[in-house]
Amino acid sequence: MRQIAVIGLGRFGFHVAETLTKLGHEVLAIDSDEMQVAKAGEFATYAVQCDATDEKALRAVSAQNVDMAVVSIGENIEASLLVVMTLKELGVKRVLAKAVTALHGKILENMGVSEVIYPERDAGIRLAHRLTAPNVLEYLQLSPGYSIEEVEVPEPLIGKPIGDSQIRAGFRVNIIAVKKKVQTMIKGVLQSRESVNFTPSPTDVMERGDVLVVVGREEDLEKFCLMGQKK
């Protein structure tokens, strides 16, 4: 369990704080808006209304004792930079910060933040990939030009063993996991759950409804995802 400060409880910060709490971490939620703090107080370990650009205010709520901090003040760039600077001065070792522009992100990087987050940009990229290839369910960029995608099994591969599909040879794409829907009977009720195989075998047969977790170059993944689709 970690102690994590989330500073800025807009839509992004609020969901970060809420999810971290559900994952079992101690969350210090901070915002200058009384209403947002009250909402976060329903789940966060501590929810505090204060000016996070004020070093004395952050010390008063023990922000210097957290394991990491997420600065989700994006729109007010000056406030974002001041908060990051204050956290660094307080000795918080790991600081992640939301950026709204490339320049904002560059300044944050130069200030030594551990990670710059672009929620709107990343959401837009994921949506674009899903719109381009409807069978792409999720997209995560690893580095420029390379990504991991969750893809519904293309029609031509349904019923084939992974080893016979020639995915690696034909598309230079690697399958790193396979997700399947499994029907189980629980107390007399048939229920569906997701099973994930992280070590798929060449003899495993790909079935309709399976989801392949694949990794490779984006141009190769695009060709693979469009397999069997009508132009």
Structural domain for 175, as ranges: 122-225
Work out the average pLDDT over 186-201. 81
pLDDT: which is higher, 143 or 207: 207
**Is residue 231 in a domain?**
no
Q: What single-letter amino acid sits at 56?
A: K
Q: Are residues 136 and 95 in the same domain?
A: no
Percent with pLDDT over 90 in the chain: 58
Q: Is the pTM of this model over 0.85?
A: no
Q: Are residues 178 and 217 in the same domain?
A: yes
Domain count, the chain: 2
**Is residue 136 in a domain?**
yes
The mean of the pLDDT values for the chain is 88
**Is residue 72 in a domain?**
yes
**Is residue 57 in a domain?**
yes
Q: What are the helix (H) ranges across the chain?
A: 11-22, 34-40, 55-60, 77-90, 102-110, 119-132, 167-171, 218-225
Q: Are residues 25 and 98 in the same domain?
A: yes
Residue 189, number of CB atoms within 10 A of its CB: 7
CATH number assigned to the domain comprising residue 168: 3.30.70.1450
Which of the listed residues 66, 87, 117 is the one where a domain comes to its end?
Answer: 117
Q: Which pLDDT tens digit goes with each residue over 40-56?
A: 999 999 999 999 999 99
Q: Characterise 145 by phi-psi region: left (phi > 0), alpha (psi -120 to 50), beta (else).
A: left
Q: Which pLDDT tens digit goes with each residue over 65-119?
A: 999 999 998 778 999 999 999 999 999 999 999 998 889 999 999 999 999 998 8
